Amino acid sequence: MNIGGWAPEPAETTELIGTAPSIALAGVLDVAAPADELPPLWQWLHFLERPAQHELGPDGHPLEGRFLPPVPNRRRMFAGGRFTVHSPIRYGDTITRRAELASTALKRGRSGELLFVTVRHTFVRDGDEVAVEEQDLVYRSGDPVSRPAQVSHESPVPEAPWTLPITADPVLLFRFSALTYNAHRIHYDEAYATRIEGHGGLVVHGPLLAMLCLELPRRAGHRARALSFRAQRPVYAGRPFVAAGSPDGALAIEVPGATAMTATFA
């Protein structure tokens, strides 16, 4: 896998933070909408890219983009990230997001070469840095991996002070895709997800799993100032999973017999 001298320049986007996206996500999560400020990670509902239809590839992602590596037959996976809050982003704020390529790393996995790309977003209000986010994305090229073994439909029963049992159905995935303007077909086209990309069903969005992890301390009244999360395996629609955590800062997404995502908050 050769990316040559790929080194995209930083880019800035400015947006007035409105309440409508948060109200919509609150409806998806069956919770009351936040009153004054964006909960951490809910900035993913803002600063969205809206490419034209002809600019999309066969997987639903844009064919080209400032931070999309020049990899042939590119397949994209969400790997994790980090988020630090210095000052809350409030509704009515005008926020500038500065995006830049933080790092790249080429590794070899079971399915071949993998390119890890980290994109850093710095959020600025009136010249002051209010938050910093890093997203870790993985790209591979070539044939899809073989379809995974049959996934259990049993509900995991983690031992944790905080638990949130969930079964994400296609309607929930569709609504989250719409809110984040995510056209990746693995989230709504089961034939594509299973036959082309080798998944065991429709894939629950990695960002949605991270948000569900952070719902645990938020619903318990904790205000997270720093968090990190790492995806370990896909979670599929229609299969029960549980967001689990504790006040000591440990969070996870548990599926039967395995952990799909780990996270920490402070």
Alpha-carbon gap, residue 80 to 240, rounded angstroms: 21
Does any domain span residue 180? yes
Does any domain span residue 6? no
Considering only residues 114 and 262, tell me which one the structure prediction assigns the higher pLDDT. Answer: 262
Residue 192 has pLDDT above 90, yes or no: yes
Spatial neighbors of 90 by CB under 8 A, at least 6 apart, are: 17, 36, 37, 38
Give the pLDDT of residue 218. Answer: 97
Alpha-carbon gap, residue 135 to 80, rounded angstroms: 6
Local confidence band at 236 (pLDDT 50, 70, 90 cut-offs)? very high
Local confidence band at 248 (pLDDT 50, 70, 90 cut-offs)? very high
Residue 135 has pLDDT above 60, yes or no: yes
Local confidence band at 146 (pLDDT 50, 70, 90 cut-offs)? low
Dump the DSSP string for the chain. ---TT--PPPEEEEEE--SHHHHHHHHHHTSPPPSSBPPTTGGGGSS-----GGGB-TTSSBS--TTS---TT-EEEEEEEEEEESS--BTT-EEEEEEEEEEEEEEEETTEEEEEEEEEEEEEETTEEEEEEEEEEEEE-SSPPPPPPPPP-SPP----SEEEEE---HHHHHHHHHHHT---GGGT-HHIIIIIS--SSSBPPHHHHHHHHHHHHHHTT---SEEEEEE-S--BTTS-EEEEE-TTSEEEEEETTEEEEEEEE-
Does any domain span residue 229? yes
Give the pLDDT of residue 75. Answer: 87
Residue 149 has pLDDT above 70, yes or no: no
Give the pLDDT of residue 155. Answer: 72
Local confidence band at 73 (pLDDT 50, 70, 90 cut-offs)? confident
Does any domain span residue 227? yes
Average pLDDT over residues 216-229: 96
Give the pLDDT of residue 82. Answer: 98
Alpha-carbon gap, residue 108 to 119, rounded angstroms: 20
Alpha-carbon gap, residue 225 to 223, rounded angstroms: 6
Residue 199 has pLDDT above 70, yes or no: yes
Does any domain span residue 3? no
Does any domain span residue 51? yes
pLDDT-wise least confident of 123-132, 133-142, 175-184, 217-226 = 133-142
What global pTM score does this model have? 0.93
Average pLDDT over residues 242-251: 97
Residue 106 has pLDDT above 70, yes or no: yes
Number of domains in the chain: 1
Give the pLDDT of residue 143. Answer: 61
The tokens describing 244, both together, are 């689990």
Domain containing residue 92: 11-265
Q: At 95, which CATH number?
A: 3.10.129.10
Does any domain span residue 5? no
Give the pLDDT of residue 184. Answer: 96
Residue 264 — φ and ψ, nearest 5°? -140, 155
The tokens describing 135, both together, are 């997203």
Average pLDDT of the chain, as a whole number: 93
Give the pLDDT of residue 108. Answer: 79
Alpha-carbon gap, residue 40 to 213, rounded angstroms: 11
Does any domain span residue 114? yes
